[in-house]
Amino acid sequence: MISVVRYDVLGIGNAIVDVIARTEEDFLLKHGMYKGAMALIDAPRAEAIYEAMGPAIETSGGSAANTIVGVAGLGVRAAFIGKVKDDELGRTFAHDIRAAGVAYMTPPAANGAPTARCYILVTPDGERTMNTYLGAAQDLHPNDIDADMIAASAITYLEGYLWDPKNAKEAFLKAAKIAHEAGRKVALTLSDAFCVDRWRPEFLHLMRSGTIDLIFANEAEVHSLYETADFDTAIAALRTDVAAAVVTRSEQGCLVLGADGSEAVPAFPVERVVDTTGAGDLFAAGFLAGLARGADDRACGRLGALAAAEVIQHLGARPETSLQDLARENGLME
């Protein structure tokens, strides 16, 4: 039988519900949090942080899940694989991603830890600091990798955070293998500078062995990956290690690296940054949607920048307005 592409982008990641509250800088200090980073926490610490933090809003999150929702919002066929428990938050996660038009079929865990949650503290400057209790996301297992779905997806997109739960690592490698055997592409986001620090040799091996075709990273992550404070040194190393990469630089836009050279693409100006949660995720969404639509590097970068600009102007990491309308208004889509 011939294999047909049914999804343009399939994401695999930790299925997480975000619990978001505004806070002051000193809350982070007092609770030993690294501003702007993602820390993994256990159940008692989760309880202590929730107890101490202010009134919150809950919204479905998870890095790759946010990206995939953004991809679907740009009119591109999208699917997601990630593990929740069959509990209240798990049903919320499943509702939200399906309601966004994403194919999501991973069976929820009947037992074990509750659905993952991320306690996000947003400081007055709009920066977010994340504390993730992985819960049921730990239980993503190679058996959850639907081979037919992966083979039917033009791009499989993985988050670096998957390297933290140990079963998920195997699931990650299984998915990449299936994708390549079906002649598809595999993309990875490095996720977080501390995550890179935890898994540097393994991430480099994934890139150098050709397991990954396209890398998404921000400046802090490439600096961490190559343990250098010099951006150009890091970029030069990245170019030799992977076929294609996109490095985001906040308000300076992004740098797209490919076989033909590199292109700097500007960001979209934003009046007021409310909450940076999801900025990187939505950048990847726009870029991947551009790729799926056959856009050139610059157009992909601009679509990424546009989606990122939308999500940082409100609380939460999922778009609140139609990305497709936004792309049309800005001449990035017909």
- List residues near a second copy by CB under 8 A: 21-22, 50-51, 53-60, 69, 87-89, 92, 95-97, 99-100, 314-316, 318, 320
**Which residue, among 166, 171, 153, 163, has the nearest Cα to 194 in the 3D structure?**
163
Q: Is the CB of 119 or the CB of 216 nearer to a second copy? A: 119
Closer of 88 and 227 to a second copy (Cβ): 88
| Beta strand 185-189 pairing with 153-159 | parallel
Which residue, 50 or 231, is less far from a second copy as judged by CB?
A: 50
CB of 318 to a second copy, least distance (A): 6
Are the CB atoms for 214 and 51 separated by under 8 Å?
no
When the beta carbons of 217 and 309 are compared against a second copy, the nearer one is 309
Q: Residue 331 Cβ, how far from a second copy at the closest point, in Å?
A: 22
Residue among 35 and 95 whose Cβ is closer to a second copy:
95
Smallest distance from a second copy to CB 280, Å: 19
Angle at 329 between CA 328 and CA 330, to 5 degrees: 90
In whole angstroms, what is the distance from residue 290 CA to residue 285 CA?
Answer: 8
Q: Which two tokens stand for residue 4?
A: 């047909």
Give whichever of 75 and 142 is closer to a second copy, judged by the CB atom: 75
Nearest distance from C-beta of residue 86 to a second copy, angstroms: 12
- C-beta of 151: minimal distance to a second copy in Å? 28
Q: Distance between CA atoms of 90 and 131, rounded to whole angstroms?
A: 18
For 177, residues 6+ apart whose C-beta sits below 8 A from its C-beta are none
Q: How far is the CB of 98 from a second copy (least distance, A)?
A: 9
Kindly tell me which of 95 and 208 has the beta carbon lying closer to a second copy.
Answer: 95
Distance between CA atoms of residues 133 and 45, nearest Å? 9
Q: From the CB of 57, what's the least distance to a second copy, in Å? A: 4
Are the C-beta atoms of residues 260 and 266 closer than 8 Å to each other? no
CB distance 310 to 279 below 8 Å: no
- Whether the Cβ atoms of residue 263 and residue 298 lie closer than 8 Å to each other: yes
The residue (of 66 and 248) whose beta carbon lies closer to a second copy is 66
Q: How far is the CB of 172 from a second copy (least distance, A)?
A: 26
